[in-house]
Chain A
Amino acid sequence: MDFSLNDEQRMLDETVSRVIREEYGFEQRRGFAGEPDGFSAANWSLFAELGLLAIPFAEENGGFGGGGVELMIVQRAFGRGLVLEPYLASVVLGGGLVEQLGSPAQRERLLSPLLAGKSRLALAWAEPEGRYDHLAVATRAERDSDGYRLSGLKAVVLHGDSADRLLVTARTAGGPTGRAGLSVFLVDSAQPGVGVRGYATIDGLRAAEIRLDDVRVGADALLGPEGGAADALETVLTLGCAALCAEAVGVMEAACELTLDYLKTRQQFGAPIGRFQALQHRMVDMRIALEQAQSMAIFAACSLGLPGAERDRRIAAAKVVIGNSGRFVAEQAIQLHGGMGMTDEAMVSHLAKRLVMIDHHLGDVDHHLGRFVALSD
């Protein structure tokens, strides 16, 4: 039992925390959001230079061999700054799936430019009728003479509008919900037949609806075994959940700090409003929720290496606690800021939006509660 960071992890924490503190002020962030892709190209290069994009990959793939704890450190710091750059979409989910499924040649071709900050991936796994079910895939991949033809609709693809390459789940066999027959293809965003409709999300990020209309890809676009991608996809979505848990903790920390500061400075009835017990107890409840969330982010980070079912059960539990505590902290942070919490000008409203929206990524509280039940005896 040891909850401390080792020396390398502490250095990573210091590095990434310093970047966020010095380069990611709330006003600077507004500027980043105004860039064409909805985030800062310069920051992305900086992350690459600092090696942050290489953190979760194995050394044989040019990475640092970081595990759940390293990912937690990065994502938590990113959460504190409400980072806009597509780390989750491109590195954790996109790169993660390439590492899981790709052949040595595919890994070399895709991961090198990704880690260098020169290429960005997005993972198109969800579909309009599929809600949070990663197996509900109606997109078809039909065998063609020398490859496949893909048709279907992909929903709310995180940073799908700025990625140059898409990883698309599609059925090569089987019905629309089974594990068997699920395959992953690499699709160039600029390819004929690929329709990308990008849009803003309410928490300041970008996403896209993606239409695949008889898109022809070569046989080398298939990642991993044909029809056998479900396990790898689940491993990567689980990693994504752990990353979201850690990010949420960072956002909650920032929300709690800002709110506590507001309670100590805002004056009403001749006293700082933090003197009033009703508000104190709300703030205490936020702080308790943060601690519980923090515990589950650690729990998730340390459970990624377990066998599939137990890993998934624990990740589901973590995502439930994070979803509930995140929404609670978001709502209370707005409430305690009063009218100011309702404004676009105040950072707390942006923190609150991200916290609530994290629950809509990779499965919400109800989805994961259902999974937790299904995976418990």
Chain B
Amino acid sequence: MDITYTAEERAFRDEVRRFLHDRLPADIAAKVREGKRVTREDHVRWQSILAEQGWFAVHWPKQYGGTGWTPIQRHIFDEEYASAHAPYLVPFGVSMVGPVIIKFGTEEQKRRYLPRILSQEDWWCQGYSEPGAGSDLASVKTRAVRDGDHYVVNGQKTWTTLGQYANMMFCLARTDPTAKQQEGISFLLIDMDTPGVTVRPIITLDGAHEVNEVFLDDVRVPVEDRVGEEGKGWTCAKFLLTYERTGIAGVGHAKQALAHLKDVARHQTANGRPLYEDPLFRARIAEVEVDLMALEMTNLRVISAAQNGGVPGAESSMLKVRGTEIRQAITDLLRRAVGPYALPFLPEALEGGWDGEPVGPDYAAPLSAQYFNRRKLSIYGGSNEIQKNIIAKMILGL
């Protein structure tokens, strides 16, 4: 038993660290560090740099432009990535539809779509959730009716993250309304420029435009843009939802947020001394820190099992539950750390390049908004209650 990295793994970590240090644009890292909004252009610019290095489609097979890294190397990459303040890697193309196309797509689909993901030509969004299909995803109502060599798609998708930037959407639609719930669903690739596609913003409680509603009215989708067999879309959907989930704990993000919390607490004053030296607040930080240490070890145990050929199943659900709870606890403490300066809300202060006069310490501006934003962590990707149902069934046999 050995909980340390090997010499090769440490060398790999140094290589990743050096690359991030040299190539991550400083203006983008600053936005992430300061909690400012990252633009579409920022994402594309950075992801192009990653792709040029060959480190964008980290977990794809090598033949399609992946890295061939081991699970431990991928974990090291994730950690260094977060600690360098690199922006959230938009997952919908590279981590979601890409692997589905690799697994279930035709040669033509692979040739057409995979290079465009790597080159950032396509920005994908996810057409899974519907107003009536959230945690109960199999109850999708969107219909796709065959008409010659097209499907005619009608329905409504929602919670479409960054859909306002997307030119492509992968979409679950019902092709056979008479089949049982999980059957009769097909997996379609939809060009967002097709007539009948309408994107409308949903403004979330933190004032952000992160998610959207997408309306599909008589949208004509070529049959060759169906992935997998007709009626077998649920297989693709399930594969996508369980693919590559060892990073789901978000340990790197949590560590980076914890470091930020300590930094903020050192700068805040309470009772005439740094808040970081206040015994009560310090204990609150310590409590979440030890929980994070335990989560990191649990994550490493799961990764190590994957390294040895194991397939993480419901363990990922444990990582998701604990990881999101801990990240939410940290954002809660970040908000509390700034006391009354959690109150002022200046949305313009969250834009990059804003040079107005801050209210209170500049680091306080995004903290409340982030706290409210991170409530999503325990809701999306299968709510934590759904994860517990999965654990109850798959691990406990209840």
Interface, chain A (partner B; CB < 8 A): 1-6, 9, 69, 260, 263-264, 274-275, 277, 280-281, 283-285, 287-288, 291-296, 298-299, 301-303, 314, 317, 320-321, 369-370, 372-373, 376
Contacts and interface: CB of A to CB of B under 8 A. Distances in A.
A1 B6 contact: yes
Interface in B316-343: 318, 321-322
Contact of A283 (B4, B322, B396): B396
B2 A1 contact: yes
Contacts of B385: 281
Contacts of B388: 280-281, 284-285
Give the most central of A1, A4, A9, A288: most B CB within 10 Å. A1
Nearest to B9: A1
Contacts of A293: 294
Given A1-B3, A302-B3, A321 B290 contact: yes
Given A280-B389, A295-B301, A376-B286, A1 B4 contact: yes
B39 to A, nearest CB: 36
B291 interface: yes
B315 to A, nearest CB: 8
B72 interface: yes
Contacts of A376: 286, 289
Contact of A302 (B1, B6, B293, B392): B1
B290 A320 contact: yes
Contacts of A284: 388, 391-392, 396
A288 B291 CA distance: 12
Contact of A2 (B1, B287, B395): B1
B398 A283 contact: yes
Contacts of A372: 286, 289-290
Given A274-B398, A280-B389, A302-B3, 17 more contacts: A1-B6, A1-B304, A3-B300, A4-B1, A4-B308, A274-B396, A277-B389, A280-B392, A287-B318, A287-B391, A288-B321, A295-B294, A302-B1, A317-B289, A320-B286, A373-B282, A376-B289
A96 to B, nearest CB: 20
Contact residues of B: prevailing secondary structure: helix
Interface string B290-303: 11011101101101
7 contacts: A1-B2, A4-B308, A69-B1, A277-B392, A302-B2, A369-B290, A373-B279
A5 B398 contact: no
Contact of B298 (A263, A275, A291): A291
Contact of B5 (A1, A277, A280, A320): A1
A289 to B, nearest CB: 10
Contact of B1 (A283, A287, A291, A301): A301
A139 B16 CA distance: 56
B259 to A, nearest CB: 11
Interface residues of B, number: 40
Nearest to A72: B1
A283 B392 contact: yes
Contacts of A275: 398
A292 B322 contact: yes
B397 interface: yes
B3 A298 contact: yes
A66 to B, nearest CB: 12
A1 B307 contact: yes
A157 B397 CA distance: 43
Contacts of B297: 295-296, 298-299
| 8 A-B pairs with the lowest CB-CB distances in the bound complex, closest first | A295-B297, A280-B392, A292-B294, A317-B290, A274-B398, A284-B388, A295-B298, A302-B3
B283 interface: yes
A291 B9 contact: no
A283 B391 CA distance: 10
Contacts of A291: 298, 318
Contacts of A1: 2-6, 9, 72, 300, 303-304, 307
Nearest to A377: B262
Given A280-B389, A292-B298, A317 B1 contact: no
A370 B298 CA distance: 24
A296 B300 CA distance: 12
Scoring A4, A263, A292, A314 by chain B CB atoms within 10 A of each residue's CB, the highest score goes to A292
Contacts of A283: 392, 396, 398
Interface in B142-171: none
A298 B1 CA distance: 9
Nearest to B285: A373
A318 to B, nearest CB: 8
Contacts of A320: 286-287, 290
Nearest to A274: B398
Interface string B9-26: 100000000000000000
Which of B6, B308, B322, B398 has the most chain A CB within a 10 Å cutoff? B398
B293 A299 contact: yes
Nearest to A69: B1
Interface string B243-258: 0000000000000000
A370 B286 CA distance: 9
